[in-house]
Structure 1
């Protein structure tokens, strides 16, 4: 977890009006107590009124509120349009996670913008001329594996091939083409980078053990090895 993400998480916990000790925070975020001390100082430097109660822990000053996020009408419209594009990906996990996230975001829309966004939602339709009724349900989990460098085991079926092969992979990046998500990963079976269509992954398992980053660069990959997901 980055320092920024941890600071936001600490602020969220403090907003719940809980009294938190440095030791509790250190254990929760798996960092040292010294790191928590630095985080608290960062919050204080940013103007967050953290109160230190000697011998008991930290809390927020009574009455402190974080300013609500405000969206313009154009920003709200962009999010509504993005949802229609996301729905074309045919990955159930990604569509559901985006839908839940957008519901939370829409909860802070002003009522006037919310009404207009609902109107716009009913006036958008995206045609898919290359429709293929094959869906996947792995994208959201694989995204986590990419950012946390977790090995993934998959059962994979190539196009026009009934045989299913077992692969242990190191996921590095993904891209979308023709409404299909393509995963780029180091394949231990082939001992090289391979492209896998996520909707052709029959079964997957995210492993707890992690791999060492090979410093994969997506632009360099495209230059040397164009799309070959099958």
Structure 2
């Protein structure tokens, strides 16, 4: 890759993500960190308003080169969700092409949309994805719940358990989602149980996004899975 192509690509990346470290960029382009420093200087000399955040990386000044096309938060969330689904395909070239296209699309996101799309991306996992006969989402709940996750809104749900017992009303703090065996699972802090609970989205019969905000519990989906595995091992007969 020529230096000019790399500079254009770095600029596109900076528009698609709030912060990028010199190490990330060096690894992506298979060059040294020193080369990245020189590239950043050249972009700055060309009048590109790059901000260096000490200890975190580089970003572009908010509002620079605002594109005429803007995405809503729901549209951005749909793209992030699609990325997780596409990345499960066994066609590596297709996934790579989609991810490269998404980088270009994300470059026109407003800073606030970038921030929330990155937050959502860390809170979604797709496991054992199948492409046929995907379970329909009840009443378009997926996009609304994603908004509640990234905006820290309480949600009130009527939930029907697998045993078909009468639905219960829950007030929850939606934290993350994952997909497994064609079903979306919502992880949330349940105020009825005073603990984290997993809810199948297709079993939510009614939901309401409440205006009240909850305080971020710093939930981490990877830690949740690790802890769940440990609990299953401790409760096993082996």
User: In which range does the TM-score fall when normalised by the shorter chain?
Assistant: 0.3 to 0.5
- Structure possessing the higher relative contact order (Cα contacts under 8 Å, 6 or more residues apart): 2
TM-score, reference length from structure 2: 0.43
- What is the TM-score normalised by the length of structure 1? 0.44
Larger Cα-atom Rg: 1
